[in-house]
């Protein structure tokens, strides 16, 4: 990829995000280390088109670097190069943790001669919890073949792959030794991997919707529950907002949440009626999942004029706080997704007036426990009323903070997710 494409259009960035999500699904779907490494190389080649890629992992002594996987190189070349932390471009990246672009290897004194005909090089670190565990090295027969966007994409791939590498190593260790410590490390690796995956699914920024403020917050729990929220820009300035919670926990829950998100987005592109979108999503999940796998979903489309259309598929009913103090619950829709085939879902409609506030959340919020007592819907209502008139992000943050403090900081076993939409102008 050249410098001209470094910025990328909005559609390019959306495609890049979708591609990275697919890459995450591909990499995390195995616990075999060799398969993880080969898939990382394949995705590097497929996404960016680079022919010569090598994955180097730091040995247990913290000094030597071993070729763990390669693409495009004969083994005779990689065997003939002495690799170590601090030596060469790869060793420098392993030592500092900073990526490196070499536009012309002939002018780089650190370059270790390896691939015949190589003229430029890109090296990114593989980091797990800020610890460098190896590097991903890509070389090209062209001068100045790499740009900052390539660095960003490879770093994102490397971040996911690093968690998968550690998870695969922990899994292999657990198979060799069934003691409790090994099982705990494998579980921690799975949670870390699922958390990395979940972070890729969540929006990075609040969306723009004329006349509204929108803010979403997710607080991770001790386990991965499969919460997600999503924003979808629609024609004529409309905005689609989805909040979902899937069954199970860990990597399986994260993958199921990704399936719900991907299926929803695919049907949103093809269909206008939101009830039809949810019905098709239910049919798809029913055909792909086991009986014990299901999801709850709230999906709403907001019009800048204040009209809102929604479907609630077995989710906690979002609350509409009216400016005059009244509260409405958004029940219209149907049952949970993925359990029954060919269901019909009703659409609900209401109008959001200036000063109204809509709060959607997952059950991790209301089921944050202090002893045997849950935080509950009533405390949600009291918190929102105390924050009356505050910006949407303040309301969302207050809800998460209050529930977390209620159960004790860090004590929640489940994720908490809140999305707040506030009408601020006619």
* Chosen domain end from 131, 162, 194: 194
Same domain, 16 and 125: yes
* Domain tally, the chain: 2
148 in the same domain as 235 = no
- What are 356-403's pLDDT values in tens digits? 999 999 998 999 888 889 999 999 999 999 999 999 999 999 999 999
Distances (CA, A) of 408 to 91, 235, 338, 403, 405: 44, 43, 34, 8, 5
Q: pLDDT band for position 163 (50/70/90)?
A: confident
Position 83 scores a pLDDT of 83
Place of tokens 């706080």: 321
Q: Which position has the token pair 């908490």? A: 416
CATH number of the structural domain spanning residue 128: 3.30.450.40
Exposed e or buried b per residue across 183-198, where buried means at least 16 C-beta atoms within 10 angstroms of its C-beta: eebbeebbbbbbbbbb
Residues 215 and 186 placed together within one structural domain of the fold: no
Burial 248-260 (b: 16+ CB within 10 A, else e): bbbbbbbbbbbbb
Distance CA(169)–CA(165), nearest Å, equals: 6
Confidence of residue 183 (pLDDT cuts 50, 70, 90): low
Please give the residue that has the higher pLDDT: either 128 or 352: 352
Q: Are residues 208 and 179 part of one domain?
A: no
Same domain for 169 and 305?
A: no
Q: Given the structure tokens 């190896």, which residue do they identify? A: 134
| Alpha helix stretches (DSSP H) within 330-391 | 363-366, 376-386
User: Collapsing DSSP states into helix, strand and coil, what is residue 156?
Assistant: helix
Number of residues assigned to the chain: 426
For residue 371, give every residue at least 6 positions away whose Cβ sits within 8 Å of its Cβ, in sequence order, or none: none
With H, G, I as helix, E, B as strand and everything else as coil, classify residue 118: coil
pLDDT of res. 244: 93
Cβ within 8 Å of residue 260, ≥6 positions away: 228, 244, 246, 281, 285, 295, 297, 337
- The pLDDT of 151-165, averaged and rounded, is 86
CB within 8 A of 123, min separation 6: which ones? 89, 90, 93, 99, 100, 102, 135, 136, 137, 138
Same domain, 163 and 233: no
Examine the domain organization and report whether 87 and 64 are in the same domain. Answer: yes
State pTM to two decimals: 0.58
pLDDT tens-place string over residues 56-114? 999 988 899 888 888 876 665 555 566 889 888 999 999 999 999 999 988 988 887 76
Say whether pLDDT at 344 is over 90.
yes
Which residues touch 378 (CB under 8 Å, ≥6 apart)? none
Tell me the pLDDT tens digit for each residue of 285-311.
898 888 788 999 999 999 999 999 999
pLDDT of residue 262: 84
- Report which of residues 207 and 182 the model is more confident about: 207
Q: What share of the chain is helix, strand, coil (3-state, %, to 5)?
A: 40, 25, 35
Do 307 and 362 lie in a common domain? Answer: yes
Longest C-alpha distance within the chain, in Å?
77
CATH number, domain of 328, equals 3.60.40.10
Residues in Cβ contact with 271 at an 8 Å cutoff, skipping those fewer than 6 apart: 277, 280
- pLDDT score of 3 more than 60: no
What is the DSSP code string of 279-338? HHHHHHHHHHS-TT--EEEEEEEE-TTSEEEEEEEBPPPPEEE-TTS-EEE---EES-BS
Q: Give the domain extent around 110.
A: 3-194
CB distance 140 to 105 below 8 Å: no
Give me the mean pLDDT over the 316-324 stretch. 96
- The larger pLDDT score, comparing residue 201 to residue 397, is at 397
Out of 99-103, 189-193, 260-264, 285-289, least confident range: 189-193
**What confidence score (pLDDT) does residue 238 get?**
96
Query: Domain check: are 279 and 135 in the same one?
Result: no
Residue 133 has pLDDT above 80, yes or no: yes
Percent residues over pLDDT 90 in the chain: 44
């Amino acid at each position: 990829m050249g410098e001209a494409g470094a910025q990328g259009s909005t559609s390019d960035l959306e495609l890049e995000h979708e591609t990275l999500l697919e890459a995450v699904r591909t990499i995390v779907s195995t616990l075999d280390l060799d398969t993880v490494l080969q898939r990382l190389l394949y995705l590097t080649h497929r996404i960016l088109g680079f022919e010569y890629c090598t994955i180097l992992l730091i040995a247990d002594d913290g000094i030597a670097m071993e070729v763990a996987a390669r693409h495009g190189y004969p083994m005779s070349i990689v065997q003939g190069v002495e690799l170590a932390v601090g030596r060469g471009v790869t060793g420098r990246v392993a030592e500092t943790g900073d990526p490196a672009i070499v536009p012309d290897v002939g002018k780089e004194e650190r370059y270790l001669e390896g691939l015949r005909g190589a003229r430029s090089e890109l090296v990114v670190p593989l980091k797990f919890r800020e610890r460098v565990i190896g590097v991903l090295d890509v070389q090209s027969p062209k001068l100045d073949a790499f740009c900052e966007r390539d660095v960003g994409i490879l770093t994102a791939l490397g971040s996911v792959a690093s968690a998968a590498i550690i998870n695969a190593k922990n899994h292999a260790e657990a198979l060799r030794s069934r003691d409790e410590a090994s099982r705990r490390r494998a579980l921690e690796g799975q949670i870390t991997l699922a958390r990395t995956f979940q972070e890729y699914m969540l929006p990075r920024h609040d969306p723009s919707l004329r006349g509204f403020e929108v803010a979403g917050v997710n607080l991770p729990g001790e386990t991965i529950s499969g919460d997600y929220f999503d924003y979808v820009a629609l024609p004529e300035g409309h905005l689609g907002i989805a909040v979902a919670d899937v069954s199970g926990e860990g990597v399986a829950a994260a993958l199921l949440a990704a399936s719900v998100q991907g299926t929803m987005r695919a049907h949103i592109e093809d269909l206008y009626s939101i009830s039809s979108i949810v019905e098709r999503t239910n049919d798809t999940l029913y055909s792909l999942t086991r009986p014990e796998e299901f999801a709850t979903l709230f999906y709403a489309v907001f019009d800048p004029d204040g009209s809102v259309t929604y479907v609630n598929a077995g989710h906690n009913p979002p609350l509409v706080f009216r400016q005059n103090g009244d509260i409405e619950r958004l029940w219209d829709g149907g049952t949970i997704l993925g359990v029954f085939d060919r269901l019909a879902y009703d659409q609900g409609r209401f109008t959001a007036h200036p000063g109204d506030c809509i709060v959607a959340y997952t059950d991790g919020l209301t089921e944050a426990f202090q002893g045997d007592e849950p935080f509950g819907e009533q405390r949600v209502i009291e918190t929102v009323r105390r924050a009356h008139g505050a910006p949407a992000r303040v309301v969302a943050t207050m809800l998460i903070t209050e529930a977390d403090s209620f159960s004790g900081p860090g004590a929640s076993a489940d994720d908490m997710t809140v999305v707040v939409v506030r009408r601020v102008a006619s």
